[in-house]
Chain A
Amino acid sequence: RKEVEQDPGPFNVPEGATVAFNCTYSNSASQSFFWYRQDCRKEPKLLMSVYSSGNEDGRFTAQLNRASQYISLLIRDSKLSDSATYLCVVNMGTGGFKTIFGAGTRLFVKA
């Protein structure tokens, strides 16, 4: 089992749709979680951190479920500009360094 797993997609949705991505992680000691966005042939950019209480930034909502070891990202009212690959990132935060990037979920938003 991979340490961080994401549905590779692609997700093809019309503008205005709501889309949700899930990410599971295997290490229960994981301590911090992030969603990054990566456009084609570009570097990943931080979209949002994920907190235990859940957090929202405009049309984007991130949730963490420690009991089931997954995080989610919800995008409401999708825009064409949301088309990208979304990377789930998990940081173990234990002695030494261990940050794992998921392979990403590809999203296409169409007019």
Chain B
Amino acid sequence: DGGITQSPKYLFRKEGQNVTLSCEQNLNHDAMYWYRQDPGQGLRLIYYSQIVNDFQKGDIAEGYSVSREKKESFPLTVTSAQKNPTAFYLCASSTTILRETQYFGPGTRLLVL
């Protein structure tokens, strides 16, 4: 089955700790995205990548980092600099970034201990 997978489903972070959220797709999509969703709010773009070895900051990139070493993978690291990381994190992909439908993974819920 083609699709997007995210792991883990739930993640707990301690103060001062960096954590990495996994996102993998086997749809052969060039573009991948990371969003954050807070209760009652729309999705906000953290980072996006048009192609391997390229990525761009979104609207709320501070405190986050990404890499795109493989077409299939776009991991997101939440660093200790992100002071309010508790949220629902969603990874998505599309064929390209130009007006294309985005398909989402099941999400990761990050909670701070």
How far apart are B62's CB and chain A's nearest CB, in angstroms?
18
DSSP majority for the B interface? loop
CB–CB A99/B45 < 8 A: yes
| In the complex, B104 has a CB within 8 A of chain A | yes
| Of A43-51, A60-68, A75-83, the one with at least 4 CB within 8 A of chain B | A43-51
Asked whether B106 lies within 8 Å of A103 as measured between CB atoms, the reply is no
Please tell me if the beta carbons of B41 and A103 are within 8 angstroms of each other in the complex: yes
Q: What per-residue 1/0 map shows which CB atoms of B12-44 lie under 8 Å from chain A?
A: 000000000000000000000001000011110
B residues contacting A by CB (< 8 A) are 35, 40-43, 45, 48, 50, 56, 88, 90, 97-99, 101-107
- Interface size class of chain A, counting residues whose CB lies under 8 Å from the partner chain: 20 to 34
A-B pairs, top 8 by smallest CB distance, nearest first, are: A43-B104, A32-B99, A101-B43, A101-B42, A103-B42, A97-B97, A93-B99, A91-B99
B99 touches A31 (CB 8 A): yes
Q: A43-B106, A104-B42 are in contact. Are A49 and B101 (CB under 8 A)?
A: yes
